[in-house]
A and B are shown apart, each in its own frame.
Chain A
Amino acid sequence: MPNVTPNTAAIEPQKPKVAFFEFADCEGCQLCAIDLTPEQLLDLTAVIDIVEFREAFSEKADGSDSTGGDSHSGYDIAIIEGSITRDSDAERLKKIRAAAKIVIALGACAHIGGINALKNCQTKKEYTEEVYPTDPNKYETTTAKALDEIIKVDGFIPGCPIDTGEFIRVVKNIVLGKNPDIPTYPVCVECKKKENVCAYEKGMICLGPITRAGCGARCPSNGGYCFGCRGLIPEPNVNAQEDIMQKYNLSFEGMKDKFKLFLQRSKEVFPDAE
């Protein structure tokens, strides 16, 4: 029987084995990833084998039980959530990289450092004393980093939190041998397609023009503004933001504050960040 696309020609003979791991995060993105309808979940498990997922079940990829550490064998794709905030995490991450064929960063923390990187705007002394006033040295912690600052990452699923639809699309595309197809254009494109009133018209500062689309302009569509959780587009014209601020009589300082929330690790915005 010859291959009739799209079916067998498109599917790899073996279902890839997928393991989920997490670092410094809120686990929200993993919850989004499994926030599927029963049909979606069935379809998903028909094309991939989830072998390790602390959020959902206790078996481990290498056969041990969940009380142990990560597995370092038994999976093709590692989907990793969270940013790297400790030296020991970096070592753990490298081991996962060595064991996986494909590494996917899941969510803003893993992709661009996420909210965790906000603390990088303060000195270590400042933030440890603020968070743990009685015992600032209780936990090991350093500059929060995105995964790709430490290891090679093959793909990412951006957002804080991620978009379940996009998660499915990326997984599907990987199974099909396709590029993940994360948009390279900014949030404004999706925002305009939805005919939203622009946040700037309402006196807000919006990072939509320099932020990667794919969320369907989630925040502006709900009356807010984009705070850049999906990271920058490939060639953001960050300087032009200054002109916009002038046009709308807003302060560029206010915009720089907005940058800190999600774009702390982005060289285009903070070239001098450590």
Chain B
Amino acid sequence: MNENAEVLLISKSDLLAGIDKVLASHKVAALTTKEERTLYDFISASSEIELDYKPTVLSPKKFFFPQDEVIVEYTDDGKVTAKIDAEPMILFGIRPCDINGIKILDEAFADSNGDPNYLAKREKAVIIGMDCKAICDENAFCYKVKANYAHSGFDVMLQEQGDKYVVQAVTDKGREFMKNFNTTAGNQSDVEAFLNEKAEGFKDKTPFKDLDKLPEVMAANYNHKVWDEESSRCLSCGSCIMVCPTCYCFDVADELALSLKKGERIRRWDACMLSSFAEVAGNENFREDKKDRLHHRISRKFDYLMKKHGQSVCVGCGRCVRACLANISPKTIVEKITCDKGE
């Protein structure tokens, strides 16, 4: 994080009061509980916010890359338009793993073929991070891939210190946003105090052995027995992909209105773990075996895309581990391959 960023302090009550103020003019999404589900969703009052983290099924990626999204619209008079919806929004309380996930999606979508639908939403969002002091549950393994620290990809970072928060606004958007809040000046030692507490919380939680060399290690273990062992239980259900903050494959389908006079082209989350993902005409399936599909999914995280992004593309959020009924975990797979006994 920027050493020179201005450090502010804010009390919990002032933080929540500020959010209520912001809510008058902005859409705010935050961690909240609806019925039995804890999830990131739009809120109407700060009292709906869960300040303590509970793992969610889906990551905040859904705000920039929704489950189903119309990308083109057309009518029968021949008019075809690109549909790019974006509204300003504040994402509040995004944890380091998910910030790292968003950062990876930013890089993936903002390449030479910049994806208009993702980027339009992303550009208009303000991301308020909330740092973690300890691991959220036994399934998360952010520390294994050093994603428990977020160094960029947010506008403001909040760090809990007793009944107040240390605030660092690191972008213009973030500084502008903080003007809505009643803050007092803090200094670098407040940040350090938090970081010390965090280091204590993650004590003994060590990264994967040779984390930086994982791409080579994975490539060298293309035929490791772990692929057979783990995939034999796989249901090819796709849950692991749906919940992953850094999976972004999609399918595209046309839907015509029943009148057949107008229609939409929709993109939908797709999953390389589903059996038909790489199928082409003539009954050819380039990844017919669930073993190859699991290999592809995990290699995207620790090999193919890791090379491209310069960091593990699995951010260790643990969502896929919680979602997988068959108990298949990227952590276990990497540990088996690297003969790492885990912590």
Contact = CB atoms under 8 A, between A and B. Distances in A.
Interface stretch (A20-28, A38-46, A70-78): A38-46
A63 interface: no
A243 B230 CA distance: 12
Contacts of A244: 325-326
B275 to A, nearest CB: 6
A210 B274 contact: no
Given A192-B323, A193-B242, A195-B37, A10 B275 contact: no
B57 A196 contact: yes
Contacts of A92: none
B58 A195 contact: yes
B256 A6 contact: yes
Interface in B229-248: 232-239, 242-243
Interface string A127-169: 0000000000000000000000000000000000000000011
Nearest to B240: A192
Nearest to B243: A192
B39 A235 contact: no
A244 B326 CA distance: 6
Interface residues of B, number: 42
Interface SS of chain A: helix, strand, loop or mixed? helix
Contacts of A189: 237-239, 242, 269, 271, 274
Contact of A234 (B68, B242, B257, B275): B275
Interface in A49-72: none
Contacts of A193: 58, 67-68, 242, 269
A7 B243 contact: no
A181 B253 contact: yes
B172 interface: no
B327 interface: yes
B276 interface: yes
Contacts of B77: 4
Given A184-B275, A235-B275, A240 B233 contact: yes
Interface in B318-339: 323, 325-327
Nearest to B57: A195
B1 interface: no
Contacts of B162: none
A32 B195 CA distance: 59
List the 7 closest pairs (A to B, CB-CB), nearest first. A7-B76, A192-B242, A43-B258, A4-B78, A188-B237, A195-B57, A209-B235
23 contacts: A4-B76, A6-B76, A6-B256, A6-B263, A184-B274, A184-B275, A185-B238, A185-B271, A186-B235, A186-B236, A186-B238, A189-B274, A193-B58, A193-B242, A195-B37, A195-B39, A196-B37, A197-B36, A198-B325, A200-B325, A209-B325, A240-B234, A240-B235
Given A168-B258, A169-B255, A209-B235, 17 more contacts: A7-B261, A11-B260, A43-B257, A46-B259, A172-B258, A181-B253, A184-B276, A185-B276, A186-B238, A188-B238, A189-B239, A189-B274, A192-B58, A209-B237, A209-B239, A237-B236, A248-B325
Interface of B: 36-37, 39, 56-58, 67-68, 74, 76-78, 232-239, 242-243, 253, 255-263, 269, 271, 274-276, 290, 323, 325-327
